[in-house]
């Protein structure tokens, strides 16, 4: 089963999918990652008492840190936070990242969590929300056909990497590679 977080990783570099799913390499992550994890735990605690008034949606249940898998779609993941109403699921992400607007890789990742929730609870999935730690502004994402198609397109590419069991080509540039935890293992890089 493909973990949803690899959708975002694939868009950064397809090789990360290979290292992650097909090798035993355990990279050491930079301090930023552990800070992100702390931030994540903090947001989860805060969410217990949040009312989400800014989102302006009706909901009857809050989902926190829930593992969901779907055999038919061949995907799984831990949903950090989602609101459930009678007929709709709405995933929400708080990212420990500076960003002025939602990145498309984060949108695709959110789509993955949304579709997992939608299938599990048999409810519509039409929108999601994302917030970045630099300003805490909450962005609404309307789910479109293109987002759906792009998500499943990336998913099929990940499955191909797993089936081929070979290190894929990568167009990652120096900027990406220099911040990548797998740099030591990519011999064809500077
Ligand atoms: S070092 Fe570069 S090519 Fe290798 S996995 Fe990381 S981003 Fe991809």
120: CATH: 3.90.320.10
CB of residue 167 inside a 6 A radius of ligand 1: no
* Helical H segments across the chain, by residue range: 5-12, 14-22, 31-47, 104-121, 145-164, 174-178
Q: Kindly state whether residue 154 falls inside one of the protein's structural domains.
A: yes
- Contact, 187 vs 43, CB < 8 A? no
> What are residue 180's phi and psi, to 5 degrees?
-95, 135
Could you tell me the residue range of the domain that residue 145 belongs to?
2-182
Decide if 125 is inside a domain: yes
Task: Say how far apart CA 155 and CA 112 lie, in whole Å.
Answer: 10
Give tens-digit pLDDT for 9-55: 999 999 999 999 999 998 876 655 566 666 666 666 666 667 777 78
CA–CA distance, 25 with 128 (Å, rounded to integer): 33
How many separate domains does the chain show? 1
Task: Compute the distance from residue 150 Cα to the ligand 1 centre, in Å.
Answer: 22
Q: Is residue 84 over pLDDT 60? A: yes
CA–CA dist 97, 106 (Å, integer): 11
The answer to whether residue 144 sits within a structural domain is yes
Q: Is residue 110 part of a domain?
A: yes
Domain presence at residue 77: yes
Q: What is the pLDDT of residue 23?
A: 95
pLDDT in tens, 94-115: 887 777 889 999 999 999 999 9
- For ligand 1, atom 7, the nearest C-alpha belongs to 177
- pLDDT value at residue 35: 61
pTM, two decimal places:
0.87
In this structure, the chain runs to a length of: 190
Asked if residue 81 has its Cβ within 6 Å of ligand 1, the reply is no
State yes or no: pLDDT of 58 exceeds 60. yes
Residue 188 lies in a domain: no
102 within some domain: yes
Do the Cβ atoms of 139 and 39 come closer than 8 Å? Answer: no
- pLDDT score at 56: 83
For 34-54, letters b (16+ CB in 10 Å) and e give: eeeeeeeeebeeebeeeebee
Distance 173 CA to ligand 1 centre (A): 8
Q: Are 94 and 82 in contact (CB under 8 A)?
A: no
């Amino acid at each position: 089963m493909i973990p949803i977080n690899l959708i975002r990783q694939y868009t950064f570099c397809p090789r990360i999918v290979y290292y992650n799913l097909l090798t035993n390499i355990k990279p050491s992550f930079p301090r930023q990652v552990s800070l992100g994890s702390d931030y994540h735990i903090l947001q989860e605690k805060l969410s217990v008492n949040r009312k989400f008034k800014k989102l302006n949606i009706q909901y009857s249940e809050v989902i926190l840190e829930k593992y969901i898998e779907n055999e038919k779609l061949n995907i799984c993941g831990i949903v950090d936070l989602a609101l459930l109403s009678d007929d709709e699921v709405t995933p929400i992400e708080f990212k420990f990242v500076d960003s002025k607007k939602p990145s498309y890789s984060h949108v695709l990742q959110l789509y993955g969590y949304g579709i997992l929730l939608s299938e599990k609870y048999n409810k519509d999935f039409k929108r999601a929300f994302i917030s970045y730690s630099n300003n805490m502004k909450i962005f609404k994402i309307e789910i479109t056909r293109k987002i759906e198609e792009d998500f499943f397109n990336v998913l099929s590419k990940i499955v191909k990497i797993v089936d081929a069991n070979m290190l894929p080509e990568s167009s990652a540039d120096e900027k990406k590679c220099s911040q990548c935890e797998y740099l030591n293992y990519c011999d064809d890089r500077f």
